[in-house]
Structure 1
Amino acid sequence: MNIKAWIEAFRLRTLPLSLSCILMGTFLASGDGFFRLDIFLLSTSTTILLQVLSNLANDYGDSIHGADSNHREGPARAVQTGAITKSQMKKAIILFSVLALITGCLLLFITFRDRLLYLLLFLAMGLLAIFAAINYTAGKKPYGYKGLGDLAVFIFFGLVGVGGVYFLQAGVYNFFILLPAASCGLFATGVLNVNNIRDIESDKLAGKISIPVRLGRERAIFYHWALLTIGYSASCLFVLLNYHSLWQWLFLITLPLFVLNARAVYTKKTAIEIDPYLKQLSIATLLFVISFGVGLLLAY
C-alpha cells in the first residue's frame, strides 16, 4: 500500500475547514451554557470522515470526468497519476461512507434516542451530506461541474455544520448563530473559490463550469473579496447584536490574514503561486473561529 499517496489523497490541508464549523457550533453552544464532550468528539469524527470522503470522491470524480488531466496546473491527484487505482479509490469511498454513517448514527442515538423526529431529521441531513460529498464530482451528473459546489459548501460548512452542532449540544435553536455560521460557510466557499481560480483554464477544457469559469478571472476575484468581506461582516454584526464585552472583538486579530489572502488572489497569476493560499485561508478560518470562540467565552 502506498501510504504517502493515500495521505496526499486525504488532503489534510482541508481539515481545518471541517474543524472550524464544529468548533464554531461548540463555542456558540458553550457561550449559551451548553456543552457535551461526547457530542463534540463524535461530531468532530463524523465531520472529518465526511471531509476525507469528499476529498477521495473528488479525486476519483475529477479523474474520470477529465478535470484532472495533463492540462491541470494544480497538485497532481492520486488516481490521475496512477498512485491509487480507480478500484482502490472506489473501495476507499465506500469505506469512508460506512464509517461516517456509523459515527453519525452513534452521535444521533446518543443525542436523540428519546426524540425520534429529531433523530430522523438529522439522519436525513447526514445521508444528504454523504450524497453531497460523493456527488460533487463523482456522480453521473456531478453538481460541482455546474457551478453548484459553492452553494453546497456554504450550506454544509456553514448553516448546517455550525447550526447542527449547536442544536446537538443545546437541544434548542438560536437564530442569531446563523451569522457566525454564515461566516464559516462563506470562508469555506472562499477556499473553494481559490481552488477554482487556480484551475480555471483546465476546468474550461474539461467542461467543469465552476463559478470562476462562469465569471472570468477578474469577476471571480471580486466574488472572492465579497465572500471574505461579507463573511467577516456577519460575525461583526453578531457581536453588535449580542454585545457584552470587548473580548468579543478578539477575532479581529485575524483580519490581516484575510486581507493577505484577498491581495494574493488578486496579485498571484499562476497556479503554483495561488495554490498555497488554499491552505492559508483554511488555517486563517480556523484561527478566526478559535479567536472568536475564546473571545465569546471570556466575555461571559
Structure 2
Amino acid sequence: MPSPLRSDAPVIKYKRDWRVWWRLLRPHTLTAAFVPVSIGTALAVYETTINFSLFITMLVASLFIQSATNMFNEYYDYKRGLDTPESIGIGGAIVRDGISPKTVLLLAWSFFAAAVLLGVYICMNSSWWLALVGTICMAAGYFYTGGPIPIAYTPFGELAAGFFMGLTIILISFFIQTGTITWTPVLVSVPISILVGAILLANNIRDLDGDRANGRKTLAILIGRKNAIRLLGAMFIVSFGWMIALVLFHIVSPWTLLVFFSIPKAFVATKGFVGKTKPIEMMPAMKATAQTNTQFGLLLVIGLLISYWL
C-alpha cells in the first residue's frame, strides 16, 4: 500500500523556454500587424518626409495589440473549454505548456497598456482623435474572443479582422505621417484587408469541426467546408485582380504588380485545404495563407518604394 505522503500519480513537467512564450504570441498572425503599417507608411512617402520614430512607434504598438489579442484568444478559448491538450495549432500555452491562465491574462492587459503609452506618443505628434480610434481597435481585439458574444463566435470575424487590421491600420499609418487621408490608401487597403480576413478564414476552416461542436457560428461553419475553401480561393483572386485594376486606373505604379510573385504561395494555401478534414493536415495550408499575406504585403511595399525612387 503506497504511503499517504507519496503520490503515485504521474507528474507533468512543463518545459518553459523562450519558445513557449514565442508561441504564446502566435507569430504567424503578427504579419497582420506589420504589413499594414509598412504599406501605410510606404504610401505616405509620396506625400511627405517620413518620421521614422512615428513609424517604429506605430509598428510596435500594432504588434502589441495583435499579440494581446492573441493572448485574450488563448485565455478565453481555455476558459470556454475550446483548448485541450489534444488541440491542434500554435495555441495551447495554457493547456500544453502549463502557463497560468492568470499570467496569460495579465500579459495581455500589460501589452494593451504598453500600446496605450505608445499611442499617447503618436497622438502627441499627430492628432488626439487617434486616441478614440485606437481605443476602438483595442476594444475589437478584446471582444474578438472576450465578452458575452465574442466576434470570433459569429460569421463576422473575417470582416472585423480585415477592417481593423487592414483598412484601419493602413489609414492610421498614413495619417500620422501626412496629417490627412486620401483615396489612395483606402483603395490600396482593400486587398490587404481581404488577405488579413483570409488568415482568419483559414484558421476557421481548420477548426471547423471543433468550433461547431462548441457552438460557434463562424462563416466557415455556416457555408460549409467546401464553400469556405472556394471562398478562400476567391479572396486570393480578388486581391490580385484588385491590384491589376489599381494599375489600370493609374492609382499605383505597375511596379506594385510585384505582388504576383506571391501567387504560388496562395495556390499552395488553397490547394492545401482541398480534401483535408483533420486539423493537423491543414496546418501547412493555414501557414501558407499567412505567408501569402506577408509576401503580398512586402512585395507591395517594395513596388511602391521602387516606383517612388524611380
Same fold (TM over 0.5): yes
Cα separation, partners in 2 of 1:274 and 1:29, compared to 1, 3 Å: same
Structure 2 residue aligned with 1:242: 250
State the secondary structure of the residue aligned to 2:57: helix
Partner residue of 2:286 out of 278, 284, 288: 278
Answering whether residue 22 of structure 2 is matched by residue 14 of structure 1, we say no
Unaligned runs of 5+ in 1: 113-118
Alpha-carbon distance in structure 1 between the residues aligned to 2:207 and 2:256:
37
Shift of 1:243: 5.8
- Could you tell me whether the CA contact under 8 Å between 1:24 and 1:293 is conserved in 2? yes
Alpha-carbon distance in structure 1 between the residues aligned to 2:138 and 2:264:
35
Cα separation, partners in 2 of 1:80 and 1:135, compared to 1, 3 Å: farther
Cα separation, partners in 2 of 1:52 and 1:262, compared to 1, 3 Å: same
State the secondary structure of the residue aligned to 1:81: coil
Partner residue of 1:153 out of 145, 150, 161: 161
Q: Which letter maps to 1:182? A: V
Shift of 1:11: 0.9
Q: How many residues align?
A: 293
Alpha-carbon distance in structure 2 between the residues aligned to 1:87 and 1:207:
25
- Could you tell me whether the CA contact under 8 Å between 2:25 and 2:67 is conserved in 1? yes
Q: How does 1:204-243 map to 2 (within 5 A)?
A: 204-242=212-250
- Could you tell me whether the CA contact under 8 Å between 2:258 and 2:303 is conserved in 1? yes
Shift of 1:267: 4.3
Structure 1 residue aligned with 2:295: 287
CA RMSD, Structure 1 to Structure 2 (Å): 2.0
Alpha-carbon distance in structure 1 between the residues aligned to 2:254 and 2:205:
37
Alpha-carbon distance in structure 2 between the residues aligned to 1:30 and 1:202:
45
Q: Which letter maps to 2:281? A: E
- Could you tell me whether the CA contact under 8 Å between 2:43 and 2:185 is conserved in 1? yes
Larger Rg: 2
Q: How does 1:58-137 map to 2 (within 5 A)?
A: 58-69=73-84, 72-81=87-96, 83-112=98-127, 119=128, 121-137=129-145
- Could you tell me whether the CA contact under 8 Å between 1:136 and 1:149 is conserved in 2? yes
Length-normalised TM-score, structure 2: 0.88
Alpha-carbon distance in structure 2 between the residues aligned to 1:31 and 1:255:
27
Deviates more, 1:157-166 or 1:251-260: 251-260
Alpha-carbon distance in structure 1 between the residues aligned to 2:252 and 2:55:
26
Alpha-carbon distance in structure 1 between the residues aligned to 2:229 and 2:291:
20
Alpha-carbon distance in structure 2 between the residues aligned to 1:265 and 1:256:
15
Partner residue of 1:53 out of 68, 84, 87: 68
- Could you tell me whether the CA contact under 8 Å between 2:88 and 2:280 is conserved in 1? yes
Alpha-carbon distance in structure 2 between the residues aligned to 1:34 and 1:251:
25
Structure 2 residue aligned with 1:116: none
Q: How does 1:147-186 map to 2 (within 5 A)?
A: 147-186=155-194
Q: Percent identity?
A: 23
Deviates more, 1:261-270 or 1:100-109: 261-270
Structure 2 residue aligned with 1:35: 50
- Could you tell me whether the CA contact under 8 Å between 2:247 and 2:253 is conserved in 1? no
- Could you tell me whether the CA contact under 8 Å between 2:73 and 2:144 is conserved in 1? yes
Deviation sequence 1:129-156 (CA, Å, 0-9, x none): 1111112112232121122211110111
Shift of 1:82: 5.9
- Could you tell me whether the CA contact under 8 Å between 1:108 and 1:123 is conserved in 2? yes
Alpha-carbon distance in structure 2 between the residues aligned to 1:4 and 1:124:
35
Unaligned runs of 5+ in 2: 1-14
Q: Which has the higher contact order (CA 8 A, sep 6+)?
A: 1
Alpha-carbon distance in structure 2 between the residues aligned to 1:267 and 1:162:
36
Shift of 1:249: 2.2
Alpha-carbon distance in structure 2 between the residues aligned to 1:245 and 1:151:
28
Alpha-carbon distance in structure 2 between the residues aligned to 1:28 and 1:217:
37
Deviation sequence 1:171-195 (CA, Å, 0-9, x none): 1211132222111111011111111
Deviation sequence 1:185-210 (CA, Å, 0-9, x none): 11011111111110001001111111
